[in-house]
Amino acid sequence: MKYIHSKNYDKSRLLEVLSLDDCVYDKKLTGTFESVSGRYKTNEEMFIFAVDDEDRMCGYICFFPITDELYDRIMNEDIMFDDNIQPKDIKQYTKDSINNIFVISVARFPQYKGQGIGFNLVKEMFSYLNSLSELGYEIGNILAVTTSAEGDKLLSKFNFQKVRSYGNEGTLLKYEFISYKDMDLYLFTPVKLSDDFKTESNSSNYFLDLLTTTCKLEVDSLINDRIGRLYLGKVKFRPEDDYGNAMNTKVLVSNMYLSFYKDIGTLIIEFPSISFDPTFVLDQSSRSNLKVLIQDEEILFYDYLKSIGLTVLGNPKHLLVSGKKLHSYYRKFILFAEAYFNRIDSRIISKEAQIDAETNIAQYEFADIYASGVGITFEINPADNAKTYEMRLEVSILMVYIFEILALEIASLKLLQNTITYEFDNSPKPSIEIIESLIENYGKYLILFEYNYKYNLAKCLSDRIAEKFNIASMRNDYRANVEQLNRIVTIRSERKSKEFSKKQDSLFKIVSVFTLLLSINNIISLFVNVDFSQRKSIFVFAITIAVWLVAIVYLTSVWIKSRKKKS
């Protein structure tokens, strides 16, 4: 099945449309050749046709931009608009004003039921409107009138919401169009730097300058001087659908930045002013299946990172910054189906935070932040003029900074976890030196995150985000691990001390036995060498014998006591 977008008035196709309408619509809902032709000539891009291999039309969708006057009438009057829409109510797509869209019909021949033609036609319409949005045409709301339960079901899949019912005649639905050019997507991946990774300083970069400035403004600690930041250049991504098929879209170009401390880092992948549906990238990211093009060769992103000396330590977290309010259904959709979504209890704004933020690089009059275990959607207050990428970045840079720290912290914890697992899995009894090294590394990494915020707002944001990603729980686990490691070191040290005492006892026994033997030998020598004819010699001999007997008795008693202790 092919989907062809009309570019010029085509009478033969129009006759096929009228033939299809006669098959599927009630007579009072079908238009005449004159009325449909009049609208078609006003905007010749209003049709997308589904055609088979023999160029026969199987279905179509008809949609067009409408005037503000008609839009207001549809929204405010209890009149069902369909074939009563006049050519004067239709306009051309323009960059000078908002283009509100009206979907007048989606239809297919009955014999093609179940082949997904209606669904694909609506997808094609959205694809076309997105392409216009990329070119600078602002798309507003999309209105549609359905006349069957099947039509309601189809459009509900695209999150069209009911506005009003026209009794048994039909239902008015509305869709709030999201322009991707108003969004910026960031992925934050915790990584380990190899020994040969080059951390040379690059030329100044607008993104990194903002990030570094915010770090210095928000935090007063050693973290300011110890985080290095690099721009790693651009990389091309190839988006895929849920089934691993390459998406029919242009290659996505992103910027890569690295923030690092010692041998841990945060890889920041930035998609500025995205002109695509981010759900595909987020889905690939959640499956660790992002693919990049390196010299026109497609490889897994993680393999590419290994080739430049970066090892991924954990799943990426994402931040989606939106320049305008997102629909709640869409917001949940982009935060992954498998994640738990909920709204943070209170607005991340307070009088104290607002006062403190006045001297900050960004002015934080922002809307709610929505979080899950995998990412956050940050919506800038619609009252703020943040349509350009630079403005969105300046307003959202604090969020980027906090995610940078979050990923660094996750990297340090992951690295410690991997090291502990490796050392204890590969050695049934790790040496004290290994354990002491683990404890030292724990302190070396986590001291980085024992900082004090200058601004209440940064602390407010960080606490809520860290709570969503269970950072406090991870820290507590590792503190418990470190306490356990310290106990192991203490026990090992005591054992070493006891072993040393045993060696001393053994040495004392050897000396005692040797002394005893020497004493016996000396006594025997005395008997041999003494001159019993002289009284003086006999007296000296007697005293010597007495002393040696006392020594022998003492050594024997010590030996007997030590034997009793053992028994």
* pLDDT tens digit at each of 567 positions of the chain: 889 988 888 888 888 888 888 888 877 777 788 888 889 899 999 999 999 888 889 999 999 999 999 999 999 988 888 888 899 999 999 988 889 999 999 999 988 888 889 988 998 998 899 888 878 788 889 999 998 888 888 988 887 888 999 887 889 999 888 777 788 999 999 999 998 887 776 667 889 988 888 888 887 766 667 788 999 999 998 877 666 667 656 678 899 999 998 889 999 999 998 877 787 788 788 778 888 888 878 899 999 999 999 999 988 999 999 887 777 666 666 654 334 333 333 344 445 555 555 555 555 555 667 777 788 888 887 666 677 888 889 888 889 999 998 898 888 888 877 777 776 666 666 677 777 777 777 777 776 676 667 777 788 788 888 888 888 888 887 777 777 777 777 766 666 666 556 666 666 666 666 665 565 556 555 555 555 556 666 666 676 677 667 777 777 777 777 666 655
User: Do 137 and 196 sit in the same domain of this protein?
Assistant: no
User: Do 247 and 330 sit in the same domain of this protein?
Assistant: yes
Confirm whether 526 is domain-assigned. Answer: yes
User: Do 145 and 219 sit in the same domain of this protein?
Assistant: no
User: Do 301 and 165 sit in the same domain of this protein?
Assistant: no
User: Do 135 and 194 sit in the same domain of this protein?
Assistant: no
pLDDT confidence of residue 197: 87
Angle of CA points 322, 260, 376, to nearest 5°: 25
Confirm whether 530 is domain-assigned. Answer: yes
pLDDT confidence of residue 10: 87
User: Do 131 and 264 sit in the same domain of this protein?
Assistant: no
Confirm whether 427 is domain-assigned. Answer: no
Confirm whether 422 is domain-assigned. Answer: no
pLDDT confidence of residue 356: 54
User: Do 276 and 353 sit in the same domain of this protein?
Assistant: yes
User: Do 231 and 135 sit in the same domain of this protein?
Assistant: no
Confirm whether 424 is domain-assigned. Answer: no
pLDDT confidence of residue 345: 37
pLDDT confidence of residue 384: 67
Confirm whether 490 is domain-assigned. Answer: no
Task: State the total domains in the chain.
Answer: 3
> Which range marks the domain in which residue 290 is found?
181-411
Last residue of a domain, one of 150, 177, 204: 177
Residue burial 91-107, b: 16+ Cβ < 10 Å; e: rest: bebeeeeebbbbbbbbb
User: Do 186 and 246 sit in the same domain of this protein?
Assistant: yes
Q: For residue 229, give Cα distances in angstroms to 137, 204, 225, 254, 271.
A: 37, 10, 11, 17, 18
User: Do 190 and 296 sit in the same domain of this protein?
Assistant: yes
CATH number of 42's domain: 3.40.630.30
DSSP string, 72-141: HHHHHSS---STT--GGGB----SSS-EEEEEEEEEE-GGGTTSSHHHHHHHHHHHHHHHHHHTTPPEEE
Q: Under DSSP, is residue 268 helix (H, G, I), strand (E, B) or coil?
A: strand
Please state, in angstroms and rounded to a whole number, the distance separating the CA atoms of residues 117 and 47. 14
For 454-496, the three-class secondary structure string (H helix, E strand, C coil) is CCHHHHHHHHHHHHHCCHHHHHHHHHHHHHHHHHHHHHHHHHH
pLDDT confidence of residue 201: 62
Last residue of a domain, one of 112, 142, 177: 177
User: Do 191 and 75 sit in the same domain of this protein?
Assistant: no
Last residue of a domain, one of 153, 177, 201: 177
Confirm whether 336 is domain-assigned. Answer: yes
Confirm whether 491 is domain-assigned. Answer: no
User: Do 149 and 192 sit in the same domain of this protein?
Assistant: no
Residue 139: phi, psi to the nearest 5? Answer: -95, 130
Residue 394: phi, psi to the nearest 5? Answer: -65, -35
pLDDT confidence of residue 429: 65
